[in-house]
Amino acid sequence: MADKEFTYSDVSEHATKKDLFVVVHDKVYNASSFVDEHPGGEEVLLDVGGQDATEAFEDVGHSDEAREILDGLIVGKLKRQDGDPKPKTYAPGTQPTTKGDGASAGVGLYAIILIGGVLAFGAYKYLQSQQESQ
């Protein structure tokens, strides 16, 4: 890990596609060389450029391979100062816990889509059989 320390002000100055720093778990990464290769698209990285991207990084549930790539981009660590945003409480390498029924809401959405598809198919077949009997 690089020994250089960056403040939020330092990091915020690197928020363009060709010069892009992000903070994840109080470590500063230069993501400039990875913007075009990012599987989620460049917009995702540009949205968090020059900022603390810990929450966004963990919410996606990145793979071990993604974490290894991130390790290769490290340029230093964040030096927190008074007035800086407070860090999210994620342990490095863990997923955040879902509040409420976040997982069941996703399953419910799939169930609704599936039921809607079945009903649409049934309606289509019914209307088709009605036209044939005329």
> Where residue 80 falls among pLDDT bands split at 50, 70, 90?
confident
**The pLDDT of residue 75:** 95
What proportions of the chain, in percent to the nearest 5, are helix, strand and coil? 50, 15, 35
pLDDT for 40: 87
User: Span 50-76, mean pLDDT?
Assistant: 90
pLDDT in tens, 85-109: 776 555 554 444 444 545 556 777 7
CATH number of 5-78: 3.10.120.10
* pLDDT (0 to 100) of residue 2: 63
State the Cα angle at 73 between 44 and 15, rounded to 5°.
45
What pLDDT does residue 21 have?
Answer: 95
Query: What strands, in cross-sheet order, belong to the sheet with 15-16?
Result: 5-6, 74-78, 27-30, 19-24, 15-16
User: What residues does each domain of the chain span?
Assistant: 5-78, 97-134
Distances (CA, A) of 65 to 5, 10, 59, 72, 118: 26, 28, 16, 11, 38
